[in-house]
């Protein structure tokens, strides 16, 4: 896929990695539609900075947990551009145990509705437009929480509902790849600990003790948290270079999932 000239929808563009992805794609010559809901100060900055660019970008306030709001969003994209080539399914809500403590019913519903339900309805409405593109691509951004759950040193960051929702998105990625083929590629980018996502710059990371943070980074084979530019490189690969990849999961976690288990030396006399 040649990115320049394409139209993309990036969910959750107000802050963090969502914002990084919005401006990364804009720099590649992509026309970007993006959503925001809460975070009023960050959303206002996003709107003003996108409006200052020369291209015809679009920002839409939308509570994506509401299927009617999702339908309205796509009606606006259809009216404005008449097409959609790329979907970055980035929306999520994680209730960190170190921040929220014991579950409430409202917190559980918020995590499932934002991380799973919203992604499903967005894809449902996006698919006809992506198929019409003839060369569409979807990146479902998820978390290694879907693999490790609330266990080990990550157990203070990943909650049960958030973990279950991410596991479910992995299953949907495979189903959606079947539904989209052959016109639309659908892949999953599974992230570990990154600045502004699970690590530095989040409330939960700041509440951990130094010992708890070290336990997490010691568990990562590469010995550090990830950088936003590494996520952007992976997205560029999935969109612009991985023409024969669909229904797959690219795990970008520095080896966290493999960490913690050391390889013992071979016993004496074994060849």
Asked whether residue 269 is assigned to any structural domain, the reply reads no
Count of other CB atoms within 10 angstroms of residue 21:
25
Asked whether residue 260 is assigned to any structural domain, the reply reads no
Range of the domain at 126: 7-252
DSSP string spanning 103-117? --HHHHHHHHIIIII
Asked whether residue 215 is assigned to any structural domain, the reply reads yes
Asked whether residue 264 is assigned to any structural domain, the reply reads no
Asked whether residue 164 is assigned to any structural domain, the reply reads yes
How many domains, the chain?
Answer: 1
Q: Is 126 helix (H, G, I), strand (E, B) or coil?
A: helix
Asked whether residue 267 is assigned to any structural domain, the reply reads no
Asked whether residue 259 is assigned to any structural domain, the reply reads no
Query: Residue 195 is part of a domain; what is its CATH number?
Result: 3.40.50.720
Count of other CB atoms within 10 angstroms of residue 208:
19
pLDDT of residue 270: 63
pLDDT of residue 134: 93
pLDDT of residue 271: 62
Return the closest-CA partner of residue 65 out of 4, 126, 16, 121.
121
Number of Cα atoms under 13 Å in the Cβ half of residue 93: 18
Separation between Cα atoms, residue 42 and residue 21, nearest integer Å:
15
Quote the distance between the C-alpha of residue 71 and its chain's center.
21
Separation between Cα atoms, residue 198 and residue 256, nearest integer Å:
13
Asked whether 4 and 26 are in contact (CB, 8 A), the reply is: no
Asked whether residue 266 is assigned to any structural domain, the reply reads no
pLDDT of residue 268: 87
pLDDT by 10-residue block (mean), the chain, 271 residues: 95 94 96 91 90 88 96 98 97 89 92 96 98 96 96 95 96 98 98 96 95 97 97 98 98 95 82 62
Hey, what are 149's tokens?
Answer: 């759950």
């Amino acid at each position: 896929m040649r990115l320049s000239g394409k139209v993309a929808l990036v969910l959750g563009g107000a802050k963090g990695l969502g914002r990084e992805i919005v401006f990364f794609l804009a720099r590649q010559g992509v026309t970007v539609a993006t959503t925001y809901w809460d975070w009023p100060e960050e959303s206002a900055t996003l709107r003003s900075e996108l409006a200052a660019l020369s291209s015809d970008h679009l920002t839409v306030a939308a509570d994506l947990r509401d299927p009617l709001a999702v339908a309205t969003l796509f009606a606006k994209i259809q009216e404005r551009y008449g097409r959609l080539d790329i979907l970055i399914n980035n929306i999520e809500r994680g209730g960190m145990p170190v921040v929220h403590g014991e579950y409430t019913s409202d917190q559980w519903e918020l995590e499932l509705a934002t991380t799973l339900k919203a992604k499903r309805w967005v894809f449902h409405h996006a698919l006809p437009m992506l198929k019409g593109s003839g060369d569409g691509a979807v990146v479902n951004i998820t978390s290694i929480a879907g693999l490790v759950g609330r266990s080990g040193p990550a157990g203070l960051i990943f909650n049960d509902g958030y973990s279950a929702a991410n596991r479910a998105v992995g299953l949907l990625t495979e189903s959606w790849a079947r539904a989209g083929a052959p016109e639309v590629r659908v892949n999953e980018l599974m992230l570990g600990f990154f600045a502004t996502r699970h690590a530095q710059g989040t409330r939960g990371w700041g509440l951990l003790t130094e010992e708890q943070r070290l336990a997490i980074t010691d568990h990562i084979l590469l010995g550090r948290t990830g950088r936003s530019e590494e996520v952007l490189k992976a997205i560029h690969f999935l969109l612009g270079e991985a023409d024969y990849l669909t229904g797959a999961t690219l795990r970008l976690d520095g080896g966290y999932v493999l960490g913690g288990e050391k390889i013992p030396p071979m016993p004496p006399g074994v060849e």
